[in-house]
Amino acid sequence: MLKAKPNLESRFRTMKRDWAIVYDMLSGKDNSDFGWHEYMQLVVVLNAVWNLYISSHKKVGQFRHRSFLYYDQLTTIDTKDRATGKNAQTNVDIIEEIDAEDIAIANTHEERNDFHGCEANVSLDEMDLSATQPQPSRNQDDSTFSKKKKKIYDTSEQISSTSFTDAATLLTENIQTVGLEISRSIASEVLIQQK
């Protein structure tokens, strides 16, 4: 669940950005030559008009033959949020703002992965535990071997317990950090919904 939320938010921002581009093509001031094909769910326009439009709008090239499902549903939802007037943002402004948010989110994820200088993708299977459990020499007699084995067992037990304690502490701190991030995210969503 925790990993899915940023991915869903990113996907929603991408869909909203793409919708804004298509919406501006279809309902822009001088874009009367653009049309919408209901069955194929894509923008239709003459090649000459498209080439002229693409020369001034570089980022829309992908929408020439691309189907955009759910355009009608997103239009119903998002046109209420579209500003009109002197302070309204163009799709270029929206794209720049979304890209800046994506970079900020990526930096946040990198900071989380670098928590306390630990590597993010390390499992216990990959750790080298040979230094924590030295092997006794087989050349000595049984009594000496037994005493050394007991000392090694006591030492490795102590190392293991401190290692597990440290791992549990680190896990607790990570869970607290994630909990705070989720709380902030929920609080910001509530504030946005209240506005």
Give residue 16's pLDDT band: very low, low, confident or very high (50, 70, 90): confident
Which pLDDT belongs to residue 12?
Answer: 82
Q: How many other C-beta atoms lie within 10 A of the C-beta of residue 53?
A: 19
Domain assignments of the chain as residue spans, ordered by start:
1-102, 132-195
- Asked if the model's pLDDT at residue 113 lies above 60, the reply is no
pLDDT higher than threshold 60 for residue 194: yes
Q: Hunting for tokens 């822009």 — which residue is that?
A: 28
Residue 182 CB contacts under 8 Å (≥ 6 apart), including other chains: 2, 5
pLDDT for the residue numbered 179: 83
The band of 11, judged by pLDDT with boundaries at 50, 70 and 90, is: confident
Which tokens hold the place of 102?
A: 């994506």
- pLDDT tier for residue 109 given thresholds of 50, 70 and 90: low
- Residue bearing the bigger pLDDT, 58 or 104: 58
pLDDT in tens, 132-189: 555 555 554 555 555 555 555 555 555 566 777 778 888 888 888 888 888 888 888 8
* Calpha distance 140→135 (Å, rounded): 13
Q: Tell me the average pLDDT across 105-117.
A: 59
pLDDT single digits (tens) 18-37: 888 888 888 877 677 888 88
Question: Is residue 47 pLDDT above 80, yes or no?
Answer: yes
Burial environment of residue 127 by CB neighbours within 10 A (0 to 12, 13 to 18, 19 or more): exposed
Name the burial class of residue 22, with classes exposed (0-12), middle (13-18) and buried (19+) by CB atoms within 10 angstroms of its CB: buried
Q: Which residue has the higher pLDDT, 140 or 2?
A: 2
pLDDT of residue 82: 57
**How far apart (Å, rounded) are the C-alpha atoms in residues 143 and 85?**
91
pLDDT of 50-83, one tens digit each? 888 888 888 888 888 888 887 777 777 766 555 5
In this predicted structure, what is the pLDDT of residue 151? 56
CB 42 within 8 A of CB 67: yes
